[in-house]
Amino acid sequence: MARIGIIGSEGRMGRAIAEAIGAAGEELAGGVDKDGDIAALAVRADVLIDFSSPGALEGNLEAAIAANKPIVIGTTGLEERHHWLIDTAAESIPVLQTGNTSLGVTLLAHLVREAASRLGEDWDIEIVETHHRMKVDAPSGTALLLGEAAAKGRGIALADNSERGRDGITGKRGTGTIGFAALRGGTVAGDHTVHFLADNERIAVSHMAENRGIFARGAVKAAQWMLERKPGRYTMPEVLGL
């Protein structure tokens, strides 16, 4: 059995991951939260799963590197500096970072990239996401993941070709841009729809998360897969062989 450690164990995702570890026949090495002994957990575990906060990422990576253990990062709200830290850590240990650990969302992103690569700029792309009222970041990590998939399909940089937070007189939609809209309310675990809209026709592909268990199962599958990897930066599509 693999010993899996959880960083952010008392959060909703942390508790769901603990259940998924048992269901997968693996062993829970323990969990830590703010001010916990991450270094000790990294030593006990064979692999770490991090669903904590962006502010904790640097220390979590340092602990994983010191213990020479792979780490799966599902924390959202990451900025450019965090990705630099991940790239640096990946020179020493296996690191998988993703905005969504759901296997279904991973396949959806693959389909979005394929569609975007085959449809021209006369097809507008809009991404709509809905989450529970307690979510603090927008667009969601999954929405950004899907946006990156669409941008890669078109061979463009998402940062230079996205539209967000439309309000007031914004002018017409930019050609070839990728739009984002975020809805917040209730207890929605996560709904995402990518719209491809052209003159007189539309395509929509969606994923609806009914509970956090799907993310937890995907995170555990990723952790199992990471046990056999060499140092480097990995993604969820590689877990599915896409």
Active site residues: 131, 135
Distance, first Cα to last Cα, the chain = 26
CA gap 108, 111 in Å, rounded? 5
R_g of the chain, CA atoms, integer Å: 18
CA gap 177, 28 in Å, rounded? 44
Buried b (16+ CB within 10 A) or exposed e, 124-150: bbbbbbbbeeebeebbbbbbbbbbbbb
C-alpha dihedral over 183, 189, 194, 200, to 10 degrees? Answer: -70
Position of tokens 């809009």?
Answer: 126
104 within 8 A of 207, measured Cβ to Cβ: yes
Q: Is the bond preceding residue 139 a cis peptide, omega within 30 degrees? A: yes
Q: At what angle do helices 141-154 and 103-118 cross, to 10 degrees?
A: 30
CA gap 79, 84 in Å, rounded? 9
Q: Is residue 172 packed enough to be buried (19+ CB in 10 Å), middle (13-18) or exposed (0-12)? A: exposed
| CA 10 from centroid of its chain's CA atoms | 19
